[in-house]
Structure 1
Amino acid sequence: MELNFRDALKERILVGDGAMGTFLFKQGFPIGVPYEQYNIVKPEAVLDVHRQYVAAGAQVIQTNTYQANAVKFSRYGAEDQVEEINRAAVRLARQAAGQQAYVVGTVGSVRDGKRGNVRTLALTDALHRQIHALLSENVDGLLFETFYDLDEMKLALRIAREETNIPVICQFAAEDSGRTVDGFTLEDAFKQLLEDGADIVGFNCRTGPNGILKLIDGLAVDKLTYSVFPNAGAASFVDGKYEYSAGPDYFATMAQKFADRGAHLIGGCCGTTPQHIEAMAKALAGYTPVEPEPALKQNAVAAQQPAVVYDKWDKGRHSGPNILQKVKDRHTVIVELDPPRDLDISKFMAGAQALKDCGADAVTMADNSLAVTRMSNLALAALVQEHIGLTPLIHVACRDRNLIGTQSHLMGLDALGINHVLAVTGDPARFGDLPDSSSVYDLTSFELIRMTKQLNEGIAFSGKPLKQKADFIVGGAFNPNVKHLDKAVQRLERKIAAGADYIMTQPVYDPALIERIAEATKHLEVPIFIGIMPLANGRNAEYLHNEVPGIQLSDAVRARMAGLEGEAGRAEGVTIAKELIDCAIKHFKGIYIMTPFLHYSMAVQLTQYVHEKTLAREDV
């Protein structure tokens, strides 16, 4: 090539290559190992794809290294091959490119948009190892593609700039949100990246040409140099194969539109083939970009204005105070009532009514606790709110829903006016009643707290602005039954930093521990609801102590419950719980009572006891 890569990017419109993974799959290569491992186990297949793209007119060839990092390769036991695979990838791309095309080292996102799934140290090491390996083979540039959050992109760019001055291209995977998943507008993200040393910014994957075109038109900035690698439209799954609808002719037309908007590097991502690249190369040969109409940018600026909030639907919100308001003024009682494992909800509803009558401030419902299938707590919360008038507080577990399902679930809660939630990890599915079901865990509890509060800012999980803000009051769970309480409190502080408005503890069975919790958390500004769960009988005590994670009984409590059954067991369980309440109300205004086996009469007794004792204290 007569120009170095940086000058070529500035002076020309370069045609990039297309997909590697989806094209290999289309050619009949099964997904057994990562396609990046083909660089050493089936190099002829990778070389053939590169050569087809060069023959089609690609002037920039990406190395087959999208997920060739230690974190992703560790899933296949191949983390020790990172350097070998990346170096081999550059050699294959260079062999195919010859003097006809530039070679860029491709680095994909390690996090894949899941901000809490990889620790910063592991992330930094993975990016550094891959970038260093690519640079060791003298690539012409680096292409960071399919990144979702600015934080990871800036880290990758910093690592690159510490080692090299070659061109770096930074591409986000974004839909129509106009934001990164960590909440930055694309204008701000691009500005920061260019200031940090990026040569070109742009988009790839997640959407087809039209979606990326809308993103560019939605940016309230002028004269940016873009890189665009769209998918071949949306994928459909037919007879075990992914099929993409956007054809080569359509890509040729859209390539010219991208050029009009300042794109200097235009290629393809998932679903694209050498035919797509050939069509774009022909369409761009000698093409002179046309300056976009002024109205286009005017529309873009208008699109950035806040949407009008639609207020007419009141979402059935209660006019009374929320839990945070209540607990500021007086001792407040939240009672947990487990959803039934059956279709019969009569006992549950009777229990909720009894709790309302005795003065419980809210009823909380677990989300398939212990991974045992129960009725939807969302449905029951709506019934309790509508028919009983008691504030529902529902648990939201990370286990059962992916990111899509979790946001959808929360949006439904908001529409129903159910705004008290508790973010929990959720017990692994393999230990429940359906052990063959999957545990999702797209989010950690920290991320669930943060992203739920993000909805309160009017921003979706994707970063897309919403027309209306939610008003969730989000709680975090706290297990004080641990050896090192100080470390548990540090974890609790992280949840508060993520946005937790209140804390609910696991059940505590030792007054001395309650006092230790009070001392260890006195610096925290959010209310803490101390968990009190009355024991039903001796067997229940031993089961909880020995088999349920996060629960630990004192020897004295176990001795008192030993051998007790029926009414005698429940009576002693209530007595022990009252003793714990006596201690708890001295230090905390929040009391969290858990109902065993839907014996709601026990919870009623304890709720009444809290009110009696706290009224007596106020009268003194």
Structure 2
Amino acid sequence: MKPDLREALGQRILTGDGAMGTYLYQMGFPVGVSYEEFNTIRPGVIEGIHRSYYEAGARVIETNTFSANAEKLSKYGLEGEMDAINRAGVRAARSAVGADAYVVGAVGSIRDGKRRNLRTAKVIEAYKSQMHALLDEGVDGLLLETFYDLDEMLLALRIARAESDLPVICQFAVEDVGRTQDGNGLKEAFDRLQEEGADVVGFNCRSGPNGILRAIDSIAGPVGLPLSVYPNAGIPDYVDGKYAYSAGPEYFAESARRFADRGARLIGGCCGTTPEHVAAMAKALDGYVPQLGQTAKITHQGEIISVQVTRQAKPAQESPLPQRQAVREPSIVELVQQRHTVIVELDPPRDLDIRKFMDGAAALKAAKADAVTMADNSLAVTRMSNIALAALLQEKVGIRPLVHIACRDRNLIGTQSHMMGLDALDIDHVLAVTGDPARFGDLPDSSSVYDLTSFEMIRMIKQLNDGTAFSGKPLKQKAKFVVGAAFNPNVKHLDKAVQRLERKIKSGADYIMTQPVYDPALIERVAEATKHLSVPMFIGIMPLASGRNAEYLHNEVPGIQLSDEVRRRMAGLEGEAGRAEGVQIAKELLDAAMPHFNGIYLITPFMFYDMGVQLTNYVWQKARRIAAE
């Protein structure tokens, strides 16, 4: 009878298996399907792969269940097959290998480091159901792999510990950065996992052998548990219409010994690895004694044997991140706490001529507007880059730019790159918005990205302020973003909208900007419903340009509703007459808003910036009257 997996890891180095998904891809099976479903519809294929890895020398075999939770399976309409797929995955692995092999149930991250807006209760239920099926079918342990965030790993580990006392392996997907993606140091993360009952900790995926070696070397201090490592076969390349990995078996054999020297007791492969990689590692590790002064000291804790790695790590960076000079003038958040503050929106142009835009910004500067804000391709209509215009406003006009950042147009890479560019330009006021879907804009065939929700974007921008990149990598200095959130009060259930707003504030929003409001009574209700909030609100006022403009906004633009009274007053008005009435209505709305809100957000229609100038001047006149009362 083979020993418990924990005991086996205390006695020798075990070789794990290699990739499943990328190996199926290399075999010619198409992407876009659930490879986990193969457990039930192609069990012979899965068994054959497990057998190949076993014959190559792997003695720890993962079940083909990485994405076999209800949430991931629902993308293929397979959530009802979750239990059967996981049980079949255990049976396929068990039937393909000998009695000397350990079969561990693979459980992958559900949130994938994207901080997706999934209710925690739903995540818990998905993990519980999957783990129950794997454990009930008789695995030798659980492997929690490709987790990006410590919080989700702890959540899954606690469920595993509540369900079973079998060995649990916890593997993060990290770069060579010394941190998890949510900013926790690796030593601290591993210590937390040990406290919560993990038996093995380590890394898989995302990096090749070199990246994971660097991650191990970045750990400041001893790790009190055995290490496991499952690197990718390098970075994939796209050759002749297929993805291919470059790291070969010989390189993996050499890397396996280097991992052993650093205290790894379980060494396998992830994306791009094959039975040939595993065979090379198993041969290299057969009878191998760790060298280079990395001692693997076995300690007894009750009946459990664990490995204490007493490697000398690089010293931790003790000096704080450098802080740049403070902002030369108060932020809009500081201003609005002292007095009425005006932000005016100007739409970036849809062509290459910026003269009118710059003239408008200069006129608003002369009217003493506090900031000019620019949307990010609003209504999914292509416009000039607001980051370029923001830099020009700051340099040539001398007015503060406030830049909208839409989730629609950039993935995580592009979003962080965009934010880093803004920081380099010393543009520090931003508004995080979801963004209208691309299919409704002028290029309907373009893609909507939505890697992030607005909640997640706010959190991750504030993470830059803490000196941590989206990946978890520490930055050499901290950003200083003042981050706003959008709020639409033109809804049936205002209380629910306020609850959503509270979540944005909890995510880190520093201030709020509302959609335009056209009803004084609604302004009163918004003031009452939001008076408890801890951040200032800028109430949106957009003067109407004509009767047709009013009807278009009311009937076709999401998030905007006009009162019957406003629509009646604007009906049939065009040109100067329409704009004059629009300004008068906006002044009446300002009369209703200014006693309740110091923050005023004026939205300019059709680049009629003179309307914004008139209303900015009106705010200052009324502010003086309010102060004198």
- Kindly tell me: are residues 43 and 506 of structure 1, through their superposed partners in 2, closer, same or farther at Cα, counting changes over 3 Å? same
Match for residue 432 of structure 2? 423
- Kindly tell me: are residues 318 and 192 of structure 1, through their superposed partners in 2, closer, same or farther at Cα, counting changes over 3 Å? closer
8 Å contact from structure 1 (residues 310, 467) kept in 2: no
* Structure 2 SS opposite 1:118: coil
Work out whether 1:525 is the aligned partner of 2:534.
Answer: yes
8 Å contact from structure 1 (residues 17, 61) kept in 2: yes
8 Å contact from structure 2 (residues 257, 285) kept in 1: yes
Letter in 2 for 1:355: L
Following TM superposition, by how much is the alpha carbon of 1:293 offset from its aligned partner in structure 2, in angstroms?
6.2
Q: Deviations over 1:479-516 (max 9, x none)?
A: 11111111111111111111111110110111111111
Instruction: Measure, in 2, the Cα distance between the counterparts of 1:479 and 1:117.
Output: 19
Instruction: Measure, in 2, the Cα distance between the counterparts of 1:547 and 1:502.
Output: 28
Following TM superposition, by how much is the alpha carbon of 1:365 offset from its aligned partner in structure 2, in angstroms?
0.2
- Kindly tell me: are residues 216 and 36 of structure 1, through their superposed partners in 2, closer, same or farther at Cα, counting changes over 3 Å? same
Following TM superposition, by how much is the alpha carbon of 1:310 offset from its aligned partner in structure 2, in angstroms?
8.5
Q: 2:406 aligns with which of 366, 377, 397?
A: 397
Contiguous gaps of at least 5 residues in structure 1:
none
Following TM superposition, by how much is the alpha carbon of 1:580 offset from its aligned partner in structure 2, in angstroms?
0.5
Following TM superposition, by how much is the alpha carbon of 1:319 offset from its aligned partner in structure 2, in angstroms?
2.2
8 Å contact from structure 1 (residues 9, 265) kept in 2: yes
Q: Give me the TM-score of the superposition, normalised by structure 2.
A: 0.95
- Kindly tell me: are residues 223 and 432 of structure 1, through their superposed partners in 2, closer, same or farther at Cα, counting changes over 3 Å? closer
Q: Deviations over 1:11-65 (max 9, x none)?
A: 2210000001111111222224211111112112111111111110001111011
8 Å contact from structure 1 (residues 220, 304) kept in 2: no
Higher alpha-carbon deviation: 186-195 or 452-461: 186-195
Instruction: Measure, in 2, the Cα distance between the counterparts of 1:407 and 1:583.
Output: 39
Match for residue 345 of structure 1? 354
Match for residue 147 of structure 1? 147
Instruction: Measure, in 1, the Cα distance between the counterparts of 2:446 and 2:545.
Output: 30
Match for residue 86 of structure 2? 86
Match for residue 113 of structure 1? 113
Alignment of 1:313-462 (within 5 A): 319-462=328-471
8 Å contact from structure 2 (residues 323, 478) kept in 1: no
Match for residue 275 of structure 1? 276
Instruction: Measure, in 1, the Cα distance between the counterparts of 2:585 and 2:385.
Output: 32
* Structure 1 SS opposite 2:594: helix
Higher alpha-carbon deviation: 571-580 or 519-528: 519-528
Letter in 1 for 2:354: I
- Kindly tell me: are residues 374 and 127 of structure 1, through their superposed partners in 2, closer, same or farther at Cα, counting changes over 3 Å? same
Instruction: Measure, in 1, the Cα distance between the counterparts of 2:72 and 2:122.
Output: 11
Match for residue 309 of structure 1? 322
Letter in 1 for 2:286: A
Instruction: Measure, in 2, the Cα distance between the counterparts of 1:109 and 1:389.
Output: 47
- Kindly tell me: are residues 487 and 310 of structure 1, through their superposed partners in 2, closer, same or farther at Cα, counting changes over 3 Å? closer
Instruction: Measure, in 2, the Cα distance between the counterparts of 1:226 and 1:608.
Output: 66
- Kindly tell me: are residues 33 and 116 of structure 1, through their superposed partners in 2, closer, same or farther at Cα, counting changes over 3 Å? closer
- Kindly tell me: are residues 134 and 123 of structure 1, through their superposed partners in 2, closer, same or farther at Cα, counting changes over 3 Å? same
Instruction: Measure, in 1, the Cα distance between the counterparts of 2:346 and 2:19.
Output: 52
Instruction: Measure, in 1, the Cα distance between the counterparts of 2:177 and 2:622.
Output: 52
Following TM superposition, by how much is the alpha carbon of 1:297 offset from its aligned partner in structure 2, in angstroms?
8.3
Instruction: Measure, in 2, the Cα distance between the counterparts of 1:463 and 1:101.
Output: 35
Instruction: Measure, in 1, the Cα distance between the counterparts of 2:37 and 2:283.
Output: 33
Match for residue 580 of structure 1? 589
Q: CA RMSD in A?
A: 1.7
Work out whether 1:502 is the aligned partner of 2:503.
Answer: no
Following TM superposition, by how much is the alpha carbon of 1:304 offset from its aligned partner in structure 2, in angstroms?
3.7
Following TM superposition, by how much is the alpha carbon of 1:6 offset from its aligned partner in structure 2, in angstroms?
2.3
Letter in 2 for 1:495: K
Work out whether 1:290 is the aligned partner of 2:274.
Answer: no
Q: Deviations over 1:331-351 (max 9, x none)?
A: 110000001111111111111
Instruction: Measure, in 2, the Cα distance between the counterparts of 1:309 and 1:552.
Output: 47
- Kindly tell me: are residues 467 and 33 of structure 1, through their superposed partners in 2, closer, same or farther at Cα, counting changes over 3 Å? same
8 Å contact from structure 2 (residues 36, 66) kept in 1: yes
Q: Deviations over 1:191-231 (max 9, x none)?
A: 11111111000000000111111111111121431010000
8 Å contact from structure 2 (residues 18, 53) kept in 1: yes
Instruction: Measure, in 2, the Cα distance between the counterparts of 1:320 and 1:148.
Output: 38
* Structure 1 SS opposite 2:403: strand
Instruction: Measure, in 2, the Cα distance between the counterparts of 1:233 and 1:613.
Output: 64
Letter in 2 for 1:300: A
Instruction: Measure, in 2, the Cα distance between the counterparts of 1:464 and 1:307.
Output: 15
Instruction: Measure, in 2, the Cα distance between the counterparts of 1:54 and 1:524.
Output: 59
Following TM superposition, by how much is the alpha carbon of 1:164 offset from its aligned partner in structure 2, in angstroms?
1.0
* Structure 2 SS opposite 1:300: coil
8 Å contact from structure 1 (residues 54, 100) kept in 2: no
Following TM superposition, by how much is the alpha carbon of 1:116 offset from its aligned partner in structure 2, in angstroms?
2.6
Instruction: Measure, in 1, the Cα distance between the counterparts of 2:310 and 2:568.
Output: 75
Instruction: Measure, in 2, the Cα distance between the counterparts of 1:117 and 1:617.
Output: 43
Q: Deviations over 1:117-160 (max 9, x none)?
A: 32212211211111111111100011010011112111111111
Letter in 1 for 2:194: L
Alignment of 1:9-408 (within 5 A): 9-224=9-224, 225-290=226-291, 292=293, 300-306=313-319, 309=322, 319-408=328-417
* Structure 1 SS opposite 2:253: helix
Work out whether 1:599 is the aligned partner of 2:612.
Answer: no
Instruction: Measure, in 2, the Cα distance between the counterparts of 1:568 and 1:402.
Output: 44
Following TM superposition, by how much is the alpha carbon of 1:600 offset from its aligned partner in structure 2, in angstroms?
0.5
Higher alpha-carbon deviation: 468-477 or 519-528: 519-528
Instruction: Measure, in 2, the Cα distance between the counterparts of 1:310 and 1:151.
Output: 28
Following TM superposition, by how much is the alpha carbon of 1:259 offset from its aligned partner in structure 2, in angstroms?
1.1
Following TM superposition, by how much is the alpha carbon of 1:291 offset from its aligned partner in structure 2, in angstroms?
5.4
Letter in 1 for 2:535: V
Instruction: Measure, in 2, the Cα distance between the counterparts of 1:201 and 1:293.
Output: 17
Equivalent residue pairs, number: 615
Instruction: Measure, in 1, the Cα distance between the counterparts of 2:627 and 2:454.
Output: 37
Following TM superposition, by how much is the alpha carbon of 1:290 offset from its aligned partner in structure 2, in angstroms?
2.2
Q: Deviations over 1:386-425 (max 9, x none)?
A: 1000100010011111111100000000000000000101
- Kindly tell me: are residues 130 and 557 of structure 1, through their superposed partners in 2, closer, same or farther at Cα, counting changes over 3 Å? same
- Kindly tell me: are residues 297 and 57 of structure 1, through their superposed partners in 2, closer, same or farther at Cα, counting changes over 3 Å? closer
8 Å contact from structure 1 (residues 6, 166) kept in 2: no
* Structure 2 SS opposite 1:31: coil
Aligned sequence identity (%): 69
* Structure 2 SS opposite 1:577: helix
* Structure 1 SS opposite 2:337: helix
Instruction: Measure, in 1, the Cα distance between the counterparts of 2:316 and 2:247.
Output: 26
- Kindly tell me: are residues 270 and 343 of structure 1, through their superposed partners in 2, closer, same or farther at Cα, counting changes over 3 Å? same
Higher alpha-carbon deviation: 132-141 or 33-42: 33-42
8 Å contact from structure 1 (residues 384, 390) kept in 2: yes
- Kindly tell me: are residues 465 and 139 of structure 1, through their superposed partners in 2, closer, same or farther at Cα, counting changes over 3 Å? same
Instruction: Measure, in 2, the Cα distance between the counterparts of 1:478 and 1:206.
Output: 37
- Kindly tell me: are residues 567 and 489 of structure 1, through their superposed partners in 2, closer, same or farther at Cα, counting changes over 3 Å? same
8 Å contact from structure 2 (residues 222, 311) kept in 1: no
Instruction: Measure, in 1, the Cα distance between the counterparts of 2:254 and 2:505.
Output: 50
